[in-house]
Structure formats: C-alpha cells, structure tokens
Amino acid sequence: MKVLGVILFLLCSLAAQSFITPKERGEMLYRMAESTACAACHGDAAEGKPLGSYDTRRGKKTIVAPALINMSGEAIKSGLKNHNFGPPFYLSDEEIAALSAWLNRND
Ligand code: HEC
C-alpha cells in the first residue's frame, strides 16, 4: 500500500509539470514533417533558402522562402495568411506563440 502511495505521488507531481517549454514546442512545430514542415522550405535553422528558379521572358526568377529568424507572432500570422506555398496551415495562437519563441531563440 505504501509503495502504491509513492507511485501515485510521483505520477501526480510529474503530471503537474509541463514537460516541454514553449520554445521546444515551437521547434517541434517548425520541424514537424507530416503537417507544418516549415523547415523543409525555410531551412533547418529558419535561415531561409531558395526553392528553385524558372526562366521568364525577362530572365530567371527564383522562388525564395525567406528567413524567419526573430519574427514576432503577429508577423508569422500575417505571413501565413498571405502564404502562397504549401497547404493552408491551421495553427492556434498558442502554436504561433511557440513558433515565435523558437524563432527568437538567439543561438
Ligand atoms: C512549400 C514550402 C513552404 C512551406 C512548407 C512553408 N513555407 Fe513559408 N514561405 C514559403 C515561400 C516560398 C515564401 C515567400 C513567398 C510567399 O509569401 O508565399 C514564404 C513566406 C513565409 C512568410 C512571410 C515571410 C516574410 O518575410 O514576409 C512567413 C511568416 C512564413 N512563410 C512562415 C511559414 C511557417 C511558420 C511555416 C510552417 C507552418 C511555413 N512558412 C511553411 C514557402 C514555404
């Protein structure tokens, strides 16, 4: 019975803690291959990257996924609203805040 009490106590105190920080959650969202996949286009560290180019009558045009480093939640929100690439992303305010926390990580 005593052992059961200890186990219960440990489980409760674990559940009371948050397992990951908003920054870590933001990084997960940023890299999540099966849904958001921001990393695939915007680069592993959100440094931005060219995705490809094509010829036009006025010369070569290159499509670039811009750097997202230090972007605020508001900027991410409006950027995603006008996003022309990838599927529409349905991110909650909490998820956008987490993404922004990771993008503002300064490493
Ligand atoms: C399929 C490739 C692709 C994926 C996946 C993608 N992006 Fe983009 N993103 C782009 C390209 C290309 C642009 C620039 C042209 C445009 O705005 O559509 C862009 C623009 C943006 C902008 C505007 C940046 C600015 O300087 O105005 C933001 C913000 C942004 N993306 C955030 C995200 C986030 C957050 C994710 C993940 C949820 C994501 N993107 C996933 C390709 C992608």
The reply to whether 43 falls in a domain is yes
Question: Does some domain include residue 58?
Answer: yes
Distance 18 CA to ligand 1 centre (A): 29
Instruction: Write the CB contacts of 86 (distance below 8 Å, at least 6 apart in sequence).
Output: 37, 41
* Residue 73 lies inside a defined structural domain of this protein: yes
Q: Is residue 11 part of a domain?
A: no
Decide: 86 in ligand 1 pocket, CB within 6 A. yes
In this structure, is residue 34 part of a structural domain?
yes
Structure tokens at 11: 């489980």
* Spacing, Cα 48 to ligand 1 middle (Å): 9
Contacts of 96 (CB under 8 A, 6+ apart): 73, 76, 77
State if pTM tops 0.85.
no
Residue 107's pLDDT is 65
Q: How far from 79 is each of 11, 21, 31, CA to CA, in Å? A: 41, 24, 18
> What CATH number is given to the structural domain containing 52?
1.10.760
Ligand 1 near 100 CB (within 6 A):
no
Please indicate, yes or no, if residue 31 is contained in any of the structural domains: yes
Residue whose CA is closest, atom 33 of ligand 1? 38
What is the average per-residue pLDDT within 53-74? Answer: 95
14 domain residue, yes or no: no
Task: Output the CA–CA distances (angstroms, integers) from residue 75 to 2, 59, 90, in the order listed.
Answer: 54, 31, 16
pLDDT in tens, 22-33: 899 999 999 987
Q: Does residue 15 register a pLDDT over 70?
A: no
- Asked if residue 8 belongs to a domain, the reply is no
Q: Which domain holds residue 72?
A: 19-103
Tell me how many domains the chain contains: 1
